Amino acid sequence: MTATTSNPGTLSAQDRQELYATMVLSRTFEDAILREYHADKGPGFDIGKGLVPGEMHLSSGQEPVAAGVCAHLTTDDAVTATHRPHHFAIAHGMDLNKMAAEIFGRTTGFGKGRGGHMHLFDPDTHFSCSGIIAEGAPPALGMAFAFKRKGGNHIAVSVVGEGAANQGAFHESLNLAALWNLPVVFVIEDNEWAISVPRSKSTAVASNADRASGYGMPGVTVEGNDVEAVHAAAGEAVRRARAGEGPSLIEVRTLRLLGHFEGDAQGYRPELVEVPSWDPIPRYETVLIDAGVLTSDDVSRIKGQASERVETAITFAKDSPEPDPADLLDNIFADSALDNADSALDNAEED
C-alpha cells in the first residue's frame, strides 16, 4: 500500500478550477435533492410519499472521489457505481434533467421513472449503479472484457464502498480482472461507515488497498479526502488500464457528511459534531484561493452556474409527467424477447 498526497505542480490552474467546479455542481445537486426530498414528507416521514419517493442516499462529502477519478474518463469509458451514486453520475457527464426526473419518478427520467435514484442507467455515458452491495464489480468486468476484445483503449471503473470490499463479488472480480489482465480500475470509497458498522469492526486488515497484492495488482490509499491526490492516483491507474497493463485498486479515505440514508439519526457516530468542519469543498476552495487559482468572483460565478443548472433540472423534473399505472407492465422485457415469447406461444397452441 502506498499513501498518496497531492502534487499541485502536476495540475494547471484550469484543471484545479474544473475539479472544484465538478465538486460544487455535485454538492449543489445533492443540496437541492435534500431540500425537495424533505419538502413534503411531513410527520411520520413516509419514504413512499412526496415529490421524491423511496429511500435517499446522498453523496455529500464524497465529491473528491468522483471529481478526481472522472477527470480522466470520457463518456466512452464505463462506470458502475453504488447506491450512493449521484456524484459519480454527475462527474461522468449524465444529463442533469433526466437524472433529476428519474429521481422524482417521472417518465422523462433515464428509466422512465421506474429505477429511482439507486438505479440510474445511461447507455450514452456507459453509467450504471445499483442498490445491491458490490453488484457493480462483475458488470464492470464484462464491459472491460468487451473493450479489450474490441480493441482501442476504453476502460471500466468499478466504484464500491468499504463494506462491499468484504463481499465475494468484489474479491471474485479482482481475481478475474487480474487473471485476464482487464482494463478496469476498482475504486473503494471508504467513508468509514458501512451503514452503521465501522471498518474496524468488520474488516481484518487496516486498509483494503492491502488486498490488491493478493490479486497481483497495484493498490494505493489516498488519505485526507484530497481531490488532487485522488486525481494523481486515478491518473496512474487509468494510464495502466489504457496501456494494457491491467487492473488497479484505489482506496480513498473519504467522508459521509450526512446519514447513511435520509432519516438516519446517526447515533452510532461519536465524531458527528466534528464532521461539518471536515467538509472537503470549503477546504479545497480555501486552498485554491490561497494559491491564487480562484478569486471570490470565480467562486460566485461557479456556484451561480451550478445553481442555475440544478434548479433547471429540478423544475424539469417537477414539470414532467408521472407514469401511467396502465403502463406498469411495459418495458419489463425487450420487445424482441416479447416477440419471441409470443411466437413460441402461438406455435405451442398450433401444436
Which pLDDT band, with edges at 50, 70 and 90, does 341 fall under?
A: low
Burial-class residue 194 by CB neighbours within 10 Å (0-12, 13-18, 19+).
buried
pLDDT at 329: 82
Report the side by side order of strands in the sheet with 121-122. 2-4, 219-222, 248-253, 184-190, 156-161, 78-81, 127-129, 121-122
The answer on pLDDT for 8 being more than 80 is no
- What pLDDT digit, counting tens, does each position of 65-112 carry? 999 999 999 999 999 999 999 999 999 999 999 999 999 999 999 999
For the record, the C-alpha cell of 176 comes out as 478475474
The answer on pLDDT for 25 being more than 70 is yes
Average pLDDT over residues 292-304: 98
CA atoms within 13 A on the CB side of 4: 29
pLDDT at 128: 97
Amino acid at residue number 239: R
The answer on pLDDT for 199 being more than 70 is yes
pLDDT at 338: 56
Average pLDDT over residues 133-162: 97
Average pLDDT over residues 247-252: 98
The answer on pLDDT for 39 being more than 70 is yes
Which pLDDT band, with edges at 50, 70 and 90, does 344 fall under?
A: low
Which pLDDT band, with edges at 50, 70 and 90, does 48 fall under?
A: low
Choice among 116-125, 152-161, 195-204, 331-340 with the minimum mean pLDDT: 331-340
**Average of per-residue pLDDT values in the chain:** 92
Short-list 105, 108, 107, CA closest to 117? 105
The answer on pLDDT for 136 being more than 60 is yes
Choice among 274-278, 280-284, 323-327 with the minimum mean pLDDT: 323-327
pLDDT at 337: 56
First to last CA, the chain: 65
Task: For the chain, give the secondary structure using H, E and C.
Answer: CEEECCCHHHCCHHHHHHHHHHHHHHHHHHHHHHHHHHHCCCCCCCCCCCCCCCCCCCCCCCHHHHHHHHCCCCCCCEEEECCCCHHHHHHCCCCHHHHHHHHCCCCCCCCCCCCCCCCCEECCCCEEECCCCCCCHHHHHHHHHHHHHHCCCCCEEEEEECCHHHCHHHHHHHHHHHHCCCCEEEEEEECCEECCEEHHHCCCCCCHHHHHHHHCCCEEEECCCCHHHHHHHHHHHHHHHHCCCCCEEEEEECCCCCCCCCCCCCCCCCCHHHHHHHCHHHHHHHHHHHCCCCCHHHHHHHHHHHHHHHHHHHHHHHHCCCCCHHHCCCCCCCHHHHHHHHHHHHHHHHC
- What pLDDT digit, counting tens, does each position of 203-231 carry? 999 999 999 999 999 999 999 999 999 99
Which pLDDT band, with edges at 50, 70 and 90, does 17 fall under?
A: very high
pTM of the model: 0.92
pLDDT at 258: 97
Domain edges within the chain: 2-323
- What pLDDT digit, counting tens, does each position of 169-195 carry? 999 999 999 999 999 999 999 999 999
Provide the sign of the torsion angle of the four alpha carbons 6, 11, 14, 19, taken in this order: negative
Q: Domain 2-323 carries which CATH code? A: 3.40.50.970
Check if the beta carbon of residue 28 is closer than 8 Å to that of residue 307. yes
Burial-class residue 264 by CB neighbours within 10 Å (0-12, 13-18, 19+).
middle
The answer on pLDDT for 350 being more than 90 is no
Question: Rounded to an integer, what distance in angstroms lies between the CA atom of residue 69 and that of residue 228?
Answer: 10
Check if the beta carbon of residue 114 is closer than 8 Å to that of residue 120. no
